[in-house]
Structure formats: C-alpha cells, structure tokens
Structure 1
Amino acid sequence: MKNFHCQKCGERLFFENTLCLSCSSALGFLPDFTELAVIEPAGDQEFSTLAKGAEDRLYRKCANYQLENACNWMVPADETDGFCCACRLNRIIPDLSGLENRKLWVKMEAAKRRLIYGLLRLELPIVPKSVDLQNGLAFEFLADQPTTMEQPDQVARILTGHADGVITINLAEADDAVREKTRMNMGEAYRTLLGHFRHESAHYYWDRLVRNDPGIDQVRAIFGDERSNYQLALQNYYQTGAPIGWESSFVTPYAASHPWEDWAETWAHYLHIMATLETASAAGLQIRNRAQNRVLASPFGRNFSEIREDWHALRFVVNSLNRSMGMADPYPFILSDAITEKLSFIHHWIRKDREVAQLVG
C-alpha cells in the first residue's frame, strides 16, 4: 500500500484514518486516485479535496461513512450511487442492531477495503453484481443462526466461500479469538480476515479471467486440471491431509487439495506479497544484502524474478522484527522454485489480462 500524508500538515496517515491527528483535517479516500485526501465542505453534502489532480473535483461521503462511520471512502459527486465502489459490492450485511455484530462488521469492511485497494492497484475488473448479474461481484457477511428457538445452542453454520460471483464470509472470522481457535484446530500456520478476502477473490477471478479463456490449458499445466472432482478432493484432504512433501510444490497444505484451491492460495499470497512490498517501497525501506544497501522498489510493472528477490529480503526482515518482539512470524512460508513459478504465472496472467482488456477496449 502507498504511504499517505496529510496534504495540509504533512503528517503520516494510516489507510483507515478519517481525521488527521496532527491538524484535525477531515480525510476521505478517493478510489479513483487511490489516495487518502484532506476533504473540505463545498456545500450540499459535497466536498472538495486537496489531493493532487483532484482539486477541481467534488465528492460525497460513502453512505457507510456518512451514516454508519464504518467506511472512509468517497464517491464522485456526479455518481448516483450512494455507496463507494467497495461498499456497493455488499449484498447482505449482518443485523447491526447488536453492538457485537456492528463491531465485527466494521472490521469486516476494513479488511474488504484493503482487498479492493489491491485490486484497484492491479487494475483488475471490479463490477458489482447489481450492475452485471452474470459477471459481477457481491459480498454477503452472515452470522451463524440458531436452528430453533428451543435449542439456541444448535446453530446453522455459515461457510465462508465463493459461488457464482458471491463471496460469503462468516462474521465470526472477524472475531480474533474465534479465528485463532479455528486456526489452531485446523493446524494452519496463517489465518487472517484479509487472507480470507484475498483467497475468495481468487475464486471469483478464476471464473472471470480463467474459466473461459482460450489459454486455460496453460493454467492447467501449472496448477493441475480443475475438472477433477472437487468435492471428492476436499473430502480426501480433510480425511488424510496434504501429501508428504507438499512444501516443495504448494504454498500451503490446503493448496494441495485441488487445483482450484492451489490457484486461490497462490493468488492470495501474490496479493500479500504485492501489498507488503508496495508498503515497504513507499516507506523508502532499505535492505542490506551482502553488505550493500538497496532501496526496495515498487513491485508494480516489474518482472517477478525481481519481486521475488525483494520479497525474500523483506520476508527475513519482517519475520526477524516480530521475533524481536516475541511474536510469531507474519509470513511463515517458504517459496520454493515450483511455488515461485506459480506466483510468477499469476503475475503475468494478470498483466496479460490487462493488455487484452486494453486491446478490446
């Protein structure tokens, strides 16, 4: 992610900020510029901004910003939709009458906005299902519900997943204690709310970018044939686990269960890598490698071999920093040559799609 600074006082800002804590300027994120900007009232609930290039444009606050204080994104004033490009993807949100549900939903929205930011930076298509029923994207955030009033302890479990452009995420995944317990029970090295969003987005983009592409045989050559029985593959995985030696070919054990999950896990890690390297680059982070200092460059527009080299160096630093604080490694994964080939393939597949989209447009 970019580094953001207040256009008035120069203070550093977090992506989630709605207020500059130094000069008290109000802030709003401009998706069309991927920029966090100082906003100033311009009448009729419209705002001007101090963001470079957007000085002559007017915006409104997203309805979830204005009414719920659960967003900080802006909507161009000439758009008719009251929600920003991230919030308009919501099809179902939880009942917000309960304080706990509201707290978890706000965390869910924050993670989703980080996903959408990354997709915007990669110039991937983001179209709401309300606009394009066949190819669009929608989110449903659902909570487990009691099956009967007489047996409140018996609940109908909501499964996190993707189907036909709809990404469903169990609200409980926003509860840190519940998610950590699940991670431990499933023997996972890594489980985050943002990770869920990135993983499930991969299934959506498989349908959007891969399933009907003439070059799908190239994908199958790298990830395997997705036409193999998916339900049987998952059943076998949960019964017997990943095969011995999975680490040499798959980024996680779950990736070894089926080609669709290999694509999704690898895609999620690609988004992890690109976002973290962009943050490090924007901060001007220097890495000392073999007694030489090197400033990390933005990963966008680069060959994946260069991205991999920077990531290996940064991964060592961030893991070492966490260990210095007595905390677990934030990235406890090793990228073998086979895994790197898959990451590189996704990197170039996305770039290929962009080039094709430009030619078609």
Structure 2
Amino acid sequence: MRSFRCRVCENELFFGNSRCVACGTRLGFSRAERAIVPVDDDGRYVDHHGGRWWVCANVRLSGCTWVTTTQGGTCEACALTRTRPADGDGVGMAQLPAAESAKRHLVVELDSLGLPVVGRDEDPVGGLCFDMLSSVEENVVIGHADGVITIDLAESDDARRERVRVELGEPYRTMLGHLRHEVGHYLQYRLVTEGERLERCRELFGDETADYQAEIDRHYSEGPPEDWEDRYITTYATMHPFEDFAETFAHYLHISDTVDTAAAQGLVTIDPSAFSSFRDLVLGVWVPLSVALNQINRSMGKDDLYPFVIPEPVLDKLDFVASLATQGAGSGV
C-alpha cells in the first residue's frame, strides 16, 4: 500500500482517499495511471490527453472512488461484481464496502504484477466475476468455480471473523486473504492448463485431478499429515493440490505486497525488483523483515503479523506461482 501525493498541494495521500485533508481537493483513483487524481465538484477528471473521466457511480454505495469513462457509470473494478445484496438487506449492504475495498486492492495488485483480470464482458464463460453474498438469510460458502468467486460478506465483521478463525484453528483470516486465495484458484484455472507449466505444477503441488470431495473428507476426518510443516505453508494447503496452489498463491501476494510497501516506506533499503527469483526475495528480504515485524507486534502485545514458517519445498512452490506474473514485482500501491 504505497502512498501518493496530491497533484494540487503535494500533501501525502493514501489508497482509497476521496478528499485531500490539506487542500480539500476531491479525489479519484485512475486505474489507467495507477494514481490518485484530482476531480472537480462534478466528479470529473481530465487526463493529460484531454480524456474525460468521472468518479464511479458506486461512490456512495461502496465508497468506490475509481474513475470511469462513462458519466454516471461504474468503474472496471465494480463491474466485476456480478451479485450484491438487495438494497433492503441492511446488514449485507453495510458489510459490502469492506469487501469491495479489499477487491479493489486485489485488482490493483494483480495489475501491478502483470496478472490477467479478464472480466465477464470479455469472456462471458470463464471471465472473472464476484458474487458478494449476504449470509443473513442463506448459507454462503466462500469459493471459486469457473471464474466466479463467491464471498460471504459476513467475513467483513471483525468479531465474527475472529470467532471463526479461532474455531478453525487458523493463524490468519482476513477479507483480503480470502480474495487472494480465491483468485489463486482463478489464475490456476486460467494460466495452468497444459504443457510444461502444467507438468511442473503437478510435480510441486500434486495431481489436481484427484477427487476433490474425497480429499476434503479425508482432511476433515484424519487431519493434516504429521510432517505437513516440512512441505506446506498451512494445514489447509494439505487438503488438495488445488488448495495447496491457492494457499501458496495467497502467500505470494501477501509477501509481494508487504515487501513492496516496506520498500516504499523506507523500511527496507534493497530494491525488491533487484532479485532474480522470488525465492531469493523471500530469503533475502521477507524472512528478516517478517521476523522484525513479528517482534514489533509482540512489543505491542499483539499476535505475530506473519505467523508462518516457509520450508524449502514451499520456496519452490512460491517461485512457480511468481513465474505466472509477466512483469515481476512491478509498482503496486
């Protein structure tokens, strides 16, 4: 999460800001420029080429400040949401902004890494879309199927999410973490389909054609293998090769984003893009940085920021998922 500068007064801005607190300028986010831009009282932004953009129509619905080329229209990030709660669902609508904010973070992160975000407008059959569902009146299962990511908006509730985390014995559980995991399923579905890439994926993660339901049943009846810490990043990753891939991909995004943020804030002096492999970045920057961050959290009486250990086989897995990116670490926000 990099900071920006107000183009009017040079005050520091942060991703998601809708107004500069120093000069009062109204703001929008330009996906095309990867920048926070000033907009007028009508929500209009004129770019360097004379192109006209307007703040997303969902600014009041979900707090979206992204700009779009259509006045009164929705932005590219909001267009990815296929389903949301009904207007009369007060609980679901109150939970929607947090989920949409995390989704916008995810989209910018994927853009920065050069990973594809192909919506249903481009690919009606297998394009990416999100069903943001309220579990007020129905059971919602978080998951991915053929490009459709389903999110339970109740996960926006900190108290509920923490209760579930403790019940399941998880070391980490956030809305952004859910989205990173599920988009890992989507990118495996899109990018790991044939040839040497598929063969290498199977070498690292296992045969993804293994019966999924049978593996779920095995996992919940027997638990993870005793030596899981030697080969996996989490116990959930031991369930099935699909889950191992998604968990590893989520950690790739966790690490990439945090290292990039730390570099932008001056917490690390080494340029992340200087590393020739993700493995080297993990060993050279992430491991010492995460230890330091964990110690800082402990000094505040909080749990570790990154409560995970990365064994050697997981370094190989992280290297593989990082290879799916076309632009390396890039310049995220």
Same fold (TM over 0.5): yes
Aligned to 2:121: 130
1:265 partner letter: E
Contact 2:54 2:71 in 1 (8 A): no
Q: Hey, what's the Cα distance between the residues in 1 that align with 2:276 and 2:4?
A: 23
Partner SS, residue 144 of structure 2: strand
Q: How much has 1:134 moved relative to structure 2?
A: 2.1
CA distance 1:305–1:47, change in 2 (3 Å): same
2:289 partner letter: L
CA distance 1:312–1:35, change in 2 (3 Å): same
CA distance 1:332–1:299, change in 2 (3 Å): farther
1:348 partner letter: S
2:28 partner letter: G
Aligned to 1:162: 144
Aligned to 1:91: 82
Alignment match of 1:211 (pick from 173, 193, 208):
193
The one-character-per-residue Cα deviations of 1:336-360 (angstroms, maximum 9, x if unpaired) are 111111101111233399xxxxxxx
Higher relative contact order (CA 8 A, sep 6+): 2
> Counterparts in 2 of 1:56-75, with a 5 A limit?
56-65=50-59, 67-68=60-61, 70-75=63-68
Say yes or no: does 1:245 pair with 2:220.
Answer: no
Moved more, 19-28 or 255-264: 19-28
Q: Hey, what's the Cα distance between the residues in 2 that align with 1:310 and 1:345?
A: 18
> Counterparts in 2 of 1:1-361, with a 5 A limit?
1-40=1-40, 46-48=44-46, 54=48, 56-65=50-59, 67-68=60-61, 70-75=63-68, 77=69, 82-146=73-137, 156-213=138-195, 215-286=197-268, 295-299=269-273, 302-308=276-282, 309-351=284-326
Structure 2-normalised TM-score? Answer: 0.92
Q: How much has 1:137 moved relative to structure 2?
A: 0.6
CA distance 1:143–1:106, change in 2 (3 Å): same
Higher-Rg member (1/2): 1
Q: Hey, what's the Cα distance between the residues in 1 that align with 2:206 and 2:266?
A: 39
Contact 1:278 1:299 in 2 (8 A): no
Partner SS, residue 215 of structure 1: helix
2:184 partner letter: A
Contact 1:280 1:296 in 2 (8 A): no
Q: Hey, what's the Cα distance between the residues in 1 that align with 2:155 and 2:123?
A: 28
The one-character-per-residue Cα deviations of 1:175-202 (angstroms, maximum 9, x if unpaired) are 1111111111100001110000000001
Partner SS, residue 276 of structure 1: helix
Q: Hey, what's the Cα distance between the residues in 2 that align with 1:248 and 1:38?
A: 50
Contact 2:62 2:96 in 1 (8 A): no
Q: Hey, what's the Cα distance between the residues in 2 that align with 1:105 and 1:196?
A: 15
Partner SS, residue 29 of structure 1: strand
Contact 1:40 1:48 in 2 (8 A): no
Q: How much has 1:4 moved relative to structure 2?
A: 1.4
Contact 1:277 1:299 in 2 (8 A): no
Contact 2:128 2:148 in 1 (8 A): yes
CA distance 1:94–1:174, change in 2 (3 Å): same
The one-character-per-residue Cα deviations of 1:287-341 (angstroms, maximum 9, x if unpaired) are xxxxxxxx03234874213311111121112111211111111110011111111
The one-character-per-residue Cα deviations of 1:262-311 (angstroms, maximum 9, x if unpaired) are 0000000000111111111111223xxxxxxxx03234874213311111
Over the aligned positions, Cα root-mean-square deviation in angstroms equals: 2.1
2:177 partner letter: G
Q: Hey, what's the Cα distance between the residues in 2 that align with 1:70 and 1:242?
A: 41
Q: Give the count of matched residue pairs.
A: 327
Q: How much has 1:145 moved relative to structure 2?
A: 5.0
Structure 1-normalised TM-score? Answer: 0.85
Partner SS, residue 86 of structure 1: helix
CA distance 1:247–1:81, change in 2 (3 Å): farther
Contact 2:25 2:38 in 1 (8 A): yes
1:240 partner letter: E
Contact 2:114 2:327 in 1 (8 A): no
CA distance 1:300–1:348, change in 2 (3 Å): farther
The one-character-per-residue Cα deviations of 1:78-110 (angstroms, maximum 9, x if unpaired) are x58922111100100112334432221001101
Give unmatched runs, 5+ long, in structure 2: 329-333
